[in-house]
Structure 1
Amino acid sequence: MNMNITIRKALKADCSRLLELVHGLALFEKAPEEVTVTLEEFEEAGFGENPVWNSFVAEINGRVEGFALYYTRFSTWKGCRMYLEDFYVDETLRGQGVGTLLFEATIREAQEKKFNGISWQVLDWNEPAISFYKKYNARFEGEWINVSLSKEQLSASGFSQIVHD
């Protein structure tokens, strides 16, 4: 396949396609029901008055086929770091260098913004991604446990009932 690949910053006009790819990622990660963000929320969060995320896209022959979405995270131990929220290339295009171009654009961005590092997560069963990250000598930290509260949990009553030690 003859590919014309362009790596560029995402535009608001890309958001609909980005959400399609997010749904593809969620399906790959066996959690399609977990994507609840609306297009309007997605656009506002990236291109509204107070944008919280940035993204590079891989445009191939005029169509966005991959992305690396990140935001700034502050670590009290390390300072400003990039958090790579999602990194995805359409499965039909994997193994053709698209991911490498996206990932290296992300690394350059972290360097240019003088971030003190990049953090992200990878599922323990995603061997192709793990192998990809190992090429960059990424450090895998197995001792941390992911913890979260959902929107429903945040709005649930009873938080004032929590016992403090």
Structure 2
Amino acid sequence: MNIHIRRAERKDCKRLLELIQELADYEKAPQEVTVTLEHFEESGFGPQPIWWAFVAEIDGKVEGFALYYIRYSTWKGQCLYLEDFLVTEKLRGNGAGKLLFDRIIEEARDRGFKRMVWQVLEWNEPAINFYKKYNATLDPEWVNGILDF
């Protein structure tokens, strides 16, 4: 199995949205993905991109991704916020997730960010166990606030 980690390109957006839908299905929220391909492409590859990503190509097909943006902490400064991180279910356990996560950590360090932040659902034991291998702090004190418009 050949795993190649690279920066996402505009041509990957359609596949990324398929993987985002797979993630939403896994997280029991399949109806929540409402972003259009056009908006998604413009947000990542337009004149002022607001997100970036790495993809895991396995035998020439994008089978995983890690999408991030810059978040600002008034306490720490610029941080990398890992919005989505997924390897397709059928290909988990082959090392692609570790390669992607390691690449995101490298990106955060290369860009001089002070920390990396993400969320994980409390019932997602496989993901929690994965993050624990990195000695990540999983903070149960904060409650997410969301206001949809």
Q: TM-score range by the shorter chain?
A: over 0.9
Alignment of 1:142-161 (within 5 A): 142-151=140-149
Provide the C-alpha distance between the structure 1 equivalents of 2:108 and 2:74, rounded to a whole number of angstroms: 18
3-state SS in 1 of match to 2:71 = strand
Choose which of 116, 119, 122 in structure 2 pairs with 1:121.
Answer: 119
Provide the C-alpha distance between the structure 2 equivalents of 1:5 and 1:140, rounded to a whole number of angstroms: 28
Provide the C-alpha distance between the structure 2 equivalents of 1:67 and 1:99, rounded to a whole number of angstroms: 9
3-state SS in 1 of match to 2:80 = strand
Provide the C-alpha distance between the structure 2 equivalents of 1:150 and 1:13, rounded to a whole number of angstroms: 29
Equivalent AA in structure 1 for residue 99 of structure 2: L
Match of 1:22 in 2: 20
Choose which of 130, 133, 139 in structure 2 pairs with 1:135.
Answer: 133
Equivalent AA in structure 2 for residue 105 of structure 1: R
Match of 2:108 in 1: 110
3-state SS in 2 of match to 1:42 = helix
Choose which of 59, 66, 91 in structure 2 pairs with 1:93.
Answer: 91
3-state SS in 1 of match to 2:79 = strand
Match of 2:78 in 1: 80
Identity %: 63
Provide the C-alpha distance between the structure 2 equivalents of 1:144 and 1:50, rounded to a whole number of angstroms: 31
3-state SS in 1 of match to 2:24 = helix
Match of 1:59 in 2: 57
Gaps of at least 5 residues in structure 2 are none
Q: Which segments of structure 1 move beyond 6 Å, counting only runs of 4 or more?
A: none
Count matched residues. 149
Query: How much has 1:60 moved relative to structure 2?
Result: 0.7
RMSD: 0.5
Provide the C-alpha distance between the structure 1 equivalents of 2:127 and 2:120, rounded to a whole number of angstroms: 7
Q: Does 1:9 align with 2:7?
A: yes
Equivalent AA in structure 1 for residue 53 of structure 2: S
Query: How much has 1:140 moved relative to structure 2?
Result: 0.9
Kindly name which structure, 1 or 2, has the bigger radius of gyration based on alpha carbons.
1
Higher relative contact order (CA 8 A, sep 6+): 2
Query: How much has 1:149 moved relative to structure 2?
Result: 1.1
Equivalent AA in structure 2 for residue 99 of structure 1: G
Match of 1:36 in 2: 34
